[in-house]
A and B are shown apart, each in its own frame.
Chain A
């Protein structure tokens, strides 16, 4: 697929360095990845691995110290220079905390219209699009006239998704978009993301720490550790037959809702603990 057509997103040797006083810290070190049209690529790893930094670097929210990011073969900085909103038309984001991602003093209508404002669309068109998008993500059209605080976490995340889709982007970066949600609501949002993907041909760069969700949603998985990719490949391979010891540790640590499997794993870990401590004593 990548051979005949340039990938939707192509990241090459991306590095991000943070500076705190005299100390520098490499949050990302030479990360390369591709997202093809209609594909869901998951980025997993533990806290501090650089998952979110990767998403924020692609979105232009943190400064890149080395490497290149190309969207549909075009350098992302060049797209940005062509005008405000150029990039927003193709690349959007859904963030983790639906309580923080909507301005509490503004009505929902206003939040949804914002991305289109930069696109300079006529007012009537914006209004029509707002209502239809709200219905599309499973909210009543009259939600537009209400304030974010009148909605539950799951509903707010629907609003955030609706806002991201207003410009009809090709790629949506989901930065832990499901982590703040309860299980039953999380399932609703997973379904919504799946539906939108098949209807609109969306691609997701899905940043997450929940491996069960990743296994369910993703086509390919990238495992990050301390700012570097330790393993990447199709979801079935990475999740079921991981090559790298770190990936293996990650997969076996993720608890599964089955007492027989989980209790066996736990007893094994307890036994290891006992062995270690007798060796120490």
Chain B
């Protein structure tokens, strides 16, 4: 299980390569605007606003005075004259609720304001300054949390019996502990952001940085805390009044009204509904508002939308996507190939049409002992393609097309079928080895567990096999390393362990998604040599995803260049490097400073990779291509074989080759460094 877990976990965690955030439909910064798109948030806001306004305007709205009683109509139920009925003295409940909300809400607001002011101040100071101030403030919050709130309040109320307001000061102080802690944690995270460093480099004082950067960044968290503290404060203020503290008898308050209702419960149960309901409604809408603000904050600043995860594959989509975008072509129609991918499509919900295509008709095949490298920039669909080979759709999305592996179709395969393949026959290693390892398990026991899962062999044998695997990935002292935990080993060592785990099922195909990107160059060289030597000894086929042409040059037999979800060029490595047949590959190779004269401008490609959903019709590279003609944008360009085994999606190859030929002498002179 754990062999597959990292793959799925990563697939879920990263999903599609993040689309370049173009101007979104809603303008950012509009926290309120996002909030207003949330039905529950809107309802909560309206209810809360309505309650507050109605109580504030009680003298105008209330049908009766707070103490006006109609004789003979005691404890009446709701009716045309008294919408919510009357109490034991025949007073109108609605009117008393409106008047009674004023002291209750005001007291709650007082406590909330004190708690938030104090919490924000202490929380940001604690998180920003750290060190001694942090420790002192944390201790103070801990002390506050141990205080018996009700006892303290009752003491204060008995000293100032006339009103609730004095008691709200200690309540606010005691309620400041949770916001202090939460805002401290949020500030700690914000403090690590580089814009704080940039502000310091610009000479801003700490106070300026907190005011200008930290507070605006954490204001969402402050609002959420306000709703939480507010709800508690309403309950506490009502509770005190319920107990008879801080109330002057005829004047109404929510808490004292509940107390009255409780004592006449036998005669008129209805009396409890409006009185308790007012408190419940207020607290509930505060809670819902808090939830909505938190979600809105995630949407506005987190970038990702909170679209619920959809793992189903709607049939309609499959049919629509399966329509071949172009005539089937050769690279995906294999004889002796181990893995045959044809017309692979991956999409996620989103965009204007309801689905966002991330990978748009990729075909390739992979034979034993060979390495195919998928190259391209981020946002081109490389990683999505790699995960699709394991039958894993992008987060919340679906796959179409075909991935055939040893007589089995992986797209649309059942979970059980995929389990027989993943890890056992197709293994995966990712970019962040340390994050992919279970931190609670030692390297050796994790590996042995995996061996047992795949082979079902006894514990002792699995342990021996685990040590063999560690030796196979050239770990010098396998017995010692087996006892270590993931946080105790370096990134390079962790990647070796990941490779050992990948080898545990003796797979035929290894999918390596940027396996060395996070590693230092010397470690990268070792890991690549290890992969190559394993390939020589086990004939494992490698699908290598990378953005580094240097890694491609050493490892790949065949290269597939992706751009905006499509294959733009595919062919033998040597041919792609020395005579690229697509302007994108050509320019990408030239952008590498290795081939340029030092200190001179590089032949950069203008613009950026278009995000999924913003792909141009016709040639997707045309807007950035120096050779593009008007005809390039007219219709989709097919991927055609231009030389044996060398495919290109370009109609301007002759222009590209002419330009390369004209430049050839200069490339010779500068290329020799």
Contacts and interface: CB of A to CB of B under 8 A. Distances in A.
Tell whether A and B belong to one assembly. yes
Interface of A: 46-47, 56, 59-61, 84-88, 91-93, 95-97, 100-107, 111, 114-115, 117-118, 146-147, 149-155, 160, 163, 167, 182-188, 190-191, 194-195, 209, 211-213, 215-217, 235, 240, 249-250, 252-259, 261-263, 265-266, 269-270, 272-274, 276-277
Nearest to B572: A259
Contact of A258 (B301, B536, B553): B553
B592 interface: yes
A188 B601 CA distance: 9
B529 A269 contact: yes
Given A96-B194, A182-B378, A216-B602, A149 B28 contact: yes
Chain B binding site: helix, strand, loop or mixed by DSSP? helix
B592 A103 contact: no
Chain A binding site: helix, strand, loop or mixed by DSSP? helix
Nearest to B604: A187
B577 A257 contact: yes
Given A114-B202, A250-B522, 8 more contacts: A103-B213, A105-B301, A152-B20, A191-B604, A212-B593, A255-B554, A257-B549, A261-B553
Given A101-B194, A256-B594, A88 B202 contact: yes
Contacts of B595: 257
8 contacts: A46-B521, A146-B23, A150-B28, A155-B608, A190-B602, A191-B601, A212-B550, A270-B536
Nearest to A265: B554
Contact of A211 (B202, B219, B521, B605): B521
Contacts of A217: 593, 598-599
Contact size range, B: 35 or more
Interface string B575-609: 00100000000011101111110111111111011
A97 B609 CA distance: 19
Interface in B517-536: 520-526, 528-530, 532-533, 536
Nearest to B491: A47
B417 interface: no
Interface in B182-223: 193-195, 197-205, 212-213, 216-217, 219
A105 to B, nearest CB: 5
Nearest to A274: B533
Contacts of B193: 100-101, 103
A118 B553 contact: no
Contacts of B194: 95-97, 100-101
Contacts of A249: 522
Given A194-B601, A274-B533, A183 B592 contact: yes
Given A209-B520, A277-B474, A59 B201 contact: yes
A64 B667 CA distance: 47
A212 B592 contact: yes
B301 to A, nearest CB: 5
Contact of A114 (B199, B491, B533, B573): B199
B552 interface: yes
6 nearest A-B residue pairs (beta carbon)? A255-B550, A257-B549, A216-B593, A187-B604, A269-B529, A187-B591
Pick the most buried of B205, B474, B554, B588: most chain A CB atoms within 10 A of its CB: B554
A95 B194 CA distance: 7
B588 A183 contact: yes
Contact of A184 (B21, B377, B521): B377
Interface of B: 20-24, 27-29, 193-195, 197-205, 212-213, 216-217, 219, 301, 303, 377-378, 474, 491, 520-526, 528-530, 532-533, 536, 547-556, 573-574, 577, 587-589, 591-596, 598-606, 608-609, 673
Contact of A257 (B212, B552, B600): B552
A101 B640 CA distance: 44
Pick the most buried of B199, B202, B213, B604: most chain A CB atoms within 10 A of its CB: B202
Contacts of A182: 377-378, 547, 608-609
A142 to B, nearest CB: 11
A150 B592 CA distance: 27
A115 to B, nearest CB: 4
Contacts of B525: 252-253, 255, 265, 269
Given A84-B204, A88-B203, A253 B212 contact: no
Contacts of B577: 257-259
Contact of A106 (B216, B524, B573): B216
Nearest to A268: B529
B205 A186 contact: no
A243 to B, nearest CB: 17
Contacts of B28: 104, 147, 149-150
B305 to A, nearest CB: 13
A253 B520 CA distance: 9
Pick the most buried of A105, A154, A163, A167: most chain B CB atoms within 10 A of its CB: A105
Contacts of B198: 93, 95, 101, 114, 160, 163
Nearest to B377: A182
B98 to A, nearest CB: 38
Contacts of A167: 202
Nearest to B204: A118
Contact of B195 (A96, A102, A190, A252): A102
B29 A105 contact: yes
A61 B201 contact: yes
Contacts of A257: 549-550, 552-553, 577, 589, 592, 594-595
A266 B520 contact: no
B601 A255 contact: no
B591 A149 contact: no
B203 A86 contact: yes
A184 B621 CA distance: 13
A86 to B, nearest CB: 7
A84 B199 CA distance: 11
Nearest to B598: A216
A100 B197 CA distance: 10
Nearest to A185: B608
A60 B200 contact: yes
A194 B599 contact: yes
B21 A93 contact: no
A241 B288 CA distance: 67
Contacts of A105: 29, 216-217, 219, 301
A191 B529 contact: no
A95 B605 CA distance: 23
Nearest to A40: B599
Contacts of A96: 194
Nearest to B380: A182
Given A187-B591, A212-B592, A262-B554, A100 B604 contact: no
Given A114-B204, A118-B202, A259-B553, A150 B22 contact: yes
Contact of B21 (A92, A151, A269): A151
A257 to B, nearest CB: 4
Contacts of B197: 56, 59, 61, 93, 95, 101
Given A46-B522, A105-B29, A187 B550 contact: no
Nearest to B536: A270
A262 B673 CA distance: 14
A47 B605 contact: no
Contacts of B573: 259
B449 to A, nearest CB: 26
